């Protein structure tokens, strides 16, 4: 355990310095960027160590793993802010809303309705980010800005969240840079959308973008949250799906 704590502390320090440097280069205050440590495939013990090292926000992308991990970490006396960042199926909404403080991957009107229903049933009001597909390929998740399909249109999804304000809080946008795109191009496009988005939804101040390999470009484009896993926890082969 002491060795693992040292590994995590080193990864955290390096990542925090990268964020601080990116903020200085962009003329931003590092306090305006929240680090979400993505702990998928890693044990609950790592989450507890990370919390002890000052991490406040943790991200997961598979419900079964996340649910068990959140329960274990809570039993260990740690209470980080949990972000669900993976593809979310409507039949998993009630499970996810039990532990997730923020759901970053909301990308359809039907998913909003299922999530709102689950939130009411569980007596919780999670923060919600609308996930954006920057290249229009919704097969990999995300709603489209001005898409032909109303069900997966960014604005329709956001209005559905805003209308469910007794169950959900619309907080902003999330995106992943498409494969093959320069991160700066992707995040500049996202930042432009976010500016227009806040014109209709001024409360939606969160912009979640950037991962281990491209967080600098995300910070330069105005990201308020970056999602970093391997740069802190190392590379690990995901467990086999059974």
pLDDT of residue 241: 38
Q: What's the pLDDT at 236?
A: 67
* Element spanning 178, H or E: none
Indicate whether 232 belongs to any domain. Answer: no
Six-digit token string for 123: 């007596």
Question: Is residue 67 in some structural domain?
Answer: yes
Tens-place pLDDT, residues 79-96: 999 999 999 999 999 999
pLDDT recorded at residue 237: 57
Mean pLDDT by 10 residues, the chain (242 residues): 93 98 98 98 97 98 97 97 97 98 98 98 98 91 88 97 98 96 97 98 98 97 98 72 34
Tokens of 218: 């995300």
Domain that holds residue 61: 2-227
SS3 103: strand
| Residue 53 belongs to domain with CATH number | 3.20.20.10
- Determine the pLDDT at residue 235: 83
Task: Provide the domain count of the chain.
Answer: 1
Q: Count Cα atoms within 13 angstroms, Cβ side, for 172.
A: 16
Task: Provide the pLDDT for residue 140.
Answer: 83
Q: Is residue 241 part of a domain?
A: no
Instruction: Give dist(CA 152, CA 138) in Å, integer.
Output: 8
Strands (E) across the chain are located at 34-38, 57-60, 81-84, 102-106, 127-132, 169-175, 206-208, 225-228
Query: Which residues are CB-contacts of 99 (< 8 A; sequence separation ≥ 6)?
Result: 66, 67, 70, 71, 82
The pLDDT assigned to 239 comes to 46
């Amino acid at each position: 355990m002491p060795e693992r704590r040292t590994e995590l502390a080193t990864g955290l320090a390096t990542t925090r310095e990268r964020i601080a440097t990116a903020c200085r280069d962009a003329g931003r205050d590092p306090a305006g960027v929240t680090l979400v440590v993505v702990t998928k495939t890693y044990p609950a013990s790592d989450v507890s160590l990370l919390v002890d090292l000052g991490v406040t926000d943790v991200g997961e992308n598979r419900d079964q793993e996340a649910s068990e991990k959140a329960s274990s970490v809570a039993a260990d006396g740690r209470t980080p802010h949990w972000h669900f960042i993976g593809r979310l199926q409507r039949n998993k909404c009630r499970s996810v809303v039990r532990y997730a403080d923020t759901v970053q991957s909301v990308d359809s009107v039907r998913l909003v309705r299922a999530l709102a229903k689950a939130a009411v049933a569980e007596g919780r009001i999670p923060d919600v980010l609308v996930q954006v597909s920057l290249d229009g390929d919704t097969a990999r998740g995300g709603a489209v800005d001005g898409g032909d399909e109303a069900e997966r249109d960014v604005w329709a999804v956001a209005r559905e969240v805003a209308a469910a304000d007794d169950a959900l809080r619309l907080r902003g946008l999330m995106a992943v840079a498409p494969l093959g795109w320069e991160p700066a191009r992707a995040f500049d496009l996202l930042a432009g959308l976010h500016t227009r988005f806040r014109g209709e939804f001024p409360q939606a101040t969160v912009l979640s973008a950037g991962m281990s390999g491209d967080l600098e470009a995300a910070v330069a484009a105005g990201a308020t949250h970056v999602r970093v896993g391997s740069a802190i926890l190392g590379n690990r082969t995901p467990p086999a799906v059974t």
